Chains A and B, each alone.
Chain A
Amino acid sequence: MTGQAQETNEVEQLKQQLRQMQENFEKAQNEQRQQINALTQKLDELSKQQQATATVTVAPTNTSAMTDRLKELDDKVDSVVEAQKKTLLSEFNPAIGFVGETIFSQQSKGSPQNGTGYPGGFDVFQRSVELNASASVDPFAKGWVVINGSADADTGETSLDVEEAALQTTSLPWDLTLTAGQFFGEFGRLSYIHDHELPFVNRPLVLDEYVGGESKTPGVQLSWLLPIEHYVNLTAGMGTQFGDSPDAIGSYRSMGAVNYFGRLSTYFDLSPDWQLEGGASWLVNPDTGNVNGETAPNGMTTLTATRRLVLDGDLKLSYVPLRNNQFQSFTWGNEVLYSDNQYLANNGGGNFNETVGAWGMYSYFTYKWSRNWSGGFLFEYTQNNQENAAQTYGYSPYLTWAISHWNQLRLQYTHTQPNAATGNQPNDAVYLQWVWIIGAHSHGWQAR
């Protein structure tokens, strides 16, 4: 029994010892779990703090760079889209521009003695407000319209005039170009250039006298670029009117009463910087149909125009330095015209035919010494094409200030010296011309 009791005590002791150890273990485990939890919590907090710190220091930099980059890309895309919009908005509209031209003048003699068309004394003259519109008509042609609102220099009476409204082919074979409608026919050098593009204030006297100002013609014109390596262009055309002369045809016009005109032009590179352009032109109306009406130049003989013939030669020498032609250039332009009109004359003793040969010319030079400034001198001589004894000389120094490509002032002094046969008197005139352009404006091939 004693042995069994001792074994029982040992078992109990061992059980108690085991329970104690289990309790100690659980207690230690709990303590450690608490410590682990505390450490974990602390670690989480520290991690959050670190993440927060990292977010504060790094993220803004990345965001800023990305934002800048996105903004830059957005701007680029916007700018391209805006450019496209600009194109699209006007896609089917013609290019439109206005040219305004105001002339302030002071004449020593009154009109008509000064022979200029301007009134005597001080005058402000809105010579033109010109609306230009041009666009492709289709793949085969382009069209343009020039409408000019102008005032009569002498009376101030205003009028609206369609200067040009024409269609021109762009894809004819054999290097041909056909122009039809109302346009400035190719004749001479300065006849088919608009007033505001002239190198001086007024169109030369001889062009006013023999051509009638601008070479406006309702008609058709065919131009051919010769298929050779040298530049030669041949133009021929016909029109019911040529120049500003009124077309006072009666009820029927024969083909003989039509104006026929043409021009042959060529060009030479004398050196990379020096250029020479020349041309020959002709204009004939075999039966003028009383275009100019009756005149009585000497109070003795009445003339009725029956045939119009004008021959023209022009030559232009230019210095256009390749390197800096926007800042320096020189031009020497010349044009000589010969008029050989026929008239039905009546001196009171019966009708007879009379042919009057007359000639005139102009010569000018323009020197450009900066992008904005140029100056030159124009010399003119002309005989009246009905009375060749009536002669006029003109001398005009001029100074041009091109404030920009679209804004130009020109100061010109002109002395005209007519002889007694003209019925005019010597005249001194000062002109200040102001030309401005808004909207689309490009100098075409002819106005180069």
Chain B
Amino acid sequence: MKLKSLVVAAVRQSAANSRKIQSAAFCRKPLRLAGIWIVALAAMCCAAQPAHAAKVRVVTTFTDLADFTREIGGDYVEVRSLATGIEDTHGVPMKPSFVPLLNRADLIVLVGFDCEHAFLPALLEASRNPRIQLGHPGYVDCSKGVTPRDVPKSTDHSEGDVHPYGNPHYLLDPVLAKTAVQNIYNALVAVAPEHEADFTKNRDAYLAKLDAKIAGWEAILAPFKGAKFVSYHEHWPYFADRFGLVYFGTIELKPGIDPTPHHIQELITTMKSEHVPLVVREPQFPEKVPALIAKQTGATLVKLPIMPGGVPNTDTYIAEMDYIVHTVADALKK
């Protein structure tokens, strides 16, 4: 408040001085006006520095992480997600409007395993917020404690846009998502230890709710153990592992590389011979090729979100997983 008062006083002083601008005495002292403005700007700068507010300011890269943070943090956190839910995880636009958000954030919560490599490093650099840079406590990598799948033996670009640390789409396995919940909890407790009891209560309640849902989801998909499916991008191996399904392959030729006609034909042939009954399209990818493959193979085409908000009525992680599990089960019943 004192700083804001200083700004107001400086501006008022400047305005008062401007009324005297015609006085010869003032004209002989042009540095005075400049000095006042410099003080005012410096005071504005200091006043707007992110001194600890009542709420912990959290920016997450994706909507599932925002949902977890809200569940744990409750009223003690102010959460913004860079993605709205409909974006590709590797294609969130680098909007300059994200920069002020990140500049004031106490925590940046990310998936990790290089999932956000296309946009987050540049945004973090532009944010000029040392608290949330890599290696600082405000940089919350939710992959900590998750054993990655499909770690490439080579990161040569002949393999496409590979993730050097392994497949980063572990949040589609709700059991591994619990690790992310725990990592967020740890970060919130570290930044606001005075609320630890509430964070603990909220985390436990959410994990209990999630555990109950996981049991239900496993029961729903239990009859379809061993069922094979393909998807556009390699989003689903962790999901398949969790629910006993078999991830058969991708429509993309390689990560980030569109399919060639030869690859499509080869995929259709092997899907037919292996009786693959399901084609998954993530909403951010074009429908044309997945629809063609489904038609040629007789498989059922479904559209599945990769984060909350990806399709209507999936605003929370549990709602998203509910939608995914029921959609897959319904498709496999056919």
Query: Which residues does chain B contribute within 8 Å of A79, judged by CB atoms?
Result: 148, 151, 153, 166
Query: Which residues does chain A contribute within 8 Å of B165, judged by CB atoms?
Result: 83
Interface 9-mer from B11-19, B53-61, B92-100: B92-100
Interface 9-mer from B42-50, B71-79, B189-197: B42-50
Interface residues of chain A, those whose CB is within 8 Å of chain B, are: 76, 79-80, 82-83, 86, 170-172, 174-177, 225, 227-231, 266-267, 269, 272, 275, 277, 320, 322-327, 370-372, 404-406, 438, 442-445, 448
Interface 9-mer from B120-128, B171-179, B211-219: B120-128
Complex Cα distance A79/B88, Å? 26
Query: Which residues does chain B contribute within 8 Å of A438, judged by CB atoms?
Result: 157
Complex Cα distance A76/B241, Å? 15
Do A83 and B99 touch across chains, with their CB atoms under 8 A apart? no
Query: Which residues does chain B contribute within 8 Å of A323, judged by CB atoms?
Result: 86-87, 283-284
Do B91 and A225 touch across chains, with their CB atoms under 8 A apart? no
Among B44, B122, B155, B286, the residue within 8 A (CB) of A442 is B122
In residues 82-113 of chain B, which contact A (Cβ within 8 Å)? 83-84, 86-88, 90-91, 93-97, 99-100, 103
A298 smallest CB distance to B (angstroms): 42
Nearest residue in A to B46 (C-beta to C-beta)? A174
B132 smallest CB distance to A (angstroms): 12
Q: Nearest 9 A-B pairs (CB), nearest first?
A: A227-B48, A79-B151, A267-B96, A231-B96, A323-B86, A445-B126, A448-B94, A445-B122, A175-B128
How many residues belonging to B are interface residues under a CB distance threshold of 8 Å? 49
Beyond the given A83-B164, A406-B157, please list 18 additional residue pairs across the A-B interface where CB-CB is below 8 A: A79-B166, A83-B148, A83-B151, A170-B130, A172-B128, A225-B128, A229-B100, A266-B96, A322-B84, A324-B88, A325-B93, A370-B258, A404-B157, A404-B256, A442-B121, A442-B122, A445-B123, A448-B122
Do A82 and B258 touch across chains, with their CB atoms under 8 A apart? no
Do B95 and A267 touch across chains, with their CB atoms under 8 A apart? yes
Query: Which residues does chain B contribute within 8 Å of A228, judged by CB atoms?
Result: 48, 100
Q: Fill in one digit per residue for B135-161: 1 if any A CB lies within 8 Å of its CB, else 0.
A: 000000000000110010101010011
Judged by DSSP, the binding face of A is loop
Query: Which residues does chain A contribute within 8 Å of B47, judged by CB atoms?
Result: 227
Do B125 and A227 touch across chains, with their CB atoms under 8 A apart? no
Do B128 and A269 touch across chains, with their CB atoms under 8 A apart? no
Do A445 and B103 touch across chains, with their CB atoms under 8 A apart? no
Do A405 and B256 touch across chains, with their CB atoms under 8 A apart? yes
Do A86 and B100 touch across chains, with their CB atoms under 8 A apart? no
Given contacts A79-B151, A323-B284, A443-B122, A174 and B45 within 8 Å (CB-CB): yes
Complex Cα distance A404/B160, Å? 8
Query: Which residues does chain B contribute within 8 Å of A325, judged by CB atoms?
Result: 87, 91, 93
Complex Cα distance A328/B211, Å? 40
Complex Cα distance A168/B193, Å? 35
